[in-house]
Amino acid sequence: MSPTSLSDEFFMREALSLAQAAGCLGEVPVGAVVVKDGVIVGRGFNAPIGEHDPTAHAEVVALRDAARNLGNYRLTGCDLYVTIEPCLMCTGAIFHARIRRVVYGARDAKTGVAGSVTDLYAEEKLNHHAEIVGGVLAEECGGAVSAFFAERRKAGRAARKANKARYAAAAAGLPLADEAPAPGLVLCERSQTVEIIETIELTPLPCTGSDPE
Ligand SMILES: [Zn+2]
């Protein structure tokens, strides 16, 4: 691992601003930039839900943007900054793109393959590697994701509470209130019974433009 620098922090802050954009759209807040000769040539943020695309992780989106801008599928001499440790899929794309150096913020214990779940960056059997540096603005990068999920859990609890009240009213034969079901939950009536169906529908959270904390 090479030492980090002020420029690493500068570009990580750019990635963090993209992560915030993802969070505003209800996506897990991860952002990435591709840098060549000190200039940002590609930007991306996590967008699999909105794009209906399981490959639309921040790194892949940024790699595609950079490749289009540079007119080359090989991003030789480029560095990638991403707020969260890359996953298996993104690491594959990073290696195929010939990224020179990857700088990430916070570790991802569940999907990170730069040392957390496994370390593909140290796998000698692979024909290409990128230099890897972790921990740049880790607290801010990881905090954005933690705050996002904390907010989602809070919204889920409020929705369940509201729907339980409606369920109780329906079971007691009282008329249901007219308000729409709370985000993320659907209350449906079938025959004489009332069921509460939880969905995984993702509703964009209000964007304050500042730290969700
Ligand atoms: Zn990924």
Q: At 167, is the secondary structure helix, strand, or coil? A: helix
Are 144 and 212 in contact by the 8 Å Cβ rule? The answer is yes
131 Cα: distance to centroid of ligand 1 (angstroms): 17
Which of these is catalytic: 9, 14, 59, 85?
A: 59
Q: Is 195 a catalytic residue?
A: no
Known binding-site residues for Zn(2+) equal 57, 87, 90
Give me ligand 1 centre to Cα 144, in Å. 17
Name residues of the chain where pLDDT drops below 70.
1-4, 176-213
- Ligand 1 centroid to Cα of residue 173, in Å, is 49
Residue-level pLDDT at 184: 44
Give per-residue pLDDT as tens, 61-95: 999 999 999 999 999 999 999 999 999 999 999 99
| Nearby residues of 154 by Cβ (< 8 Å), 6 or more positions away | none
| Spatial distance between the Cα atoms of 141 and 200, rounded to a whole number of angstroms | 25
Return the pLDDT at 177: 60
Partner residues linked to 111 by β-bridges? none
**How many whole angstroms from 103 Cα to the centroid of ligand 1?**
14
Whole-number pLDDT of residue 3: 58
What does the pLDDT read at residue 125? 94
In words, the CATH class of domain 8-144 is alpha beta
Lookup: tokens for 34: 């591709």
Q: How many CA atoms lie within 13 A of 90 on its CB side?
A: 29
Buried b (16+ CB within 10 A) or exposed e, 15-53: bbebbbbbbbbbbbbbbbbbbbeeebbbbbbbbbbeeee
Distance between CA atoms of residues 109 and 182, nearest Å: 31
Binding residues: 57, 87, 90
Please report the pLDDT score of residue 167 as a whole number.
81
Confidence (pLDDT) at 30? 98
The domain limits of the chain are: 8-144
The structure's pTM equals 0.78
User: How high is the pLDDT of residue 183?
Assistant: 46
SS3 4: coil
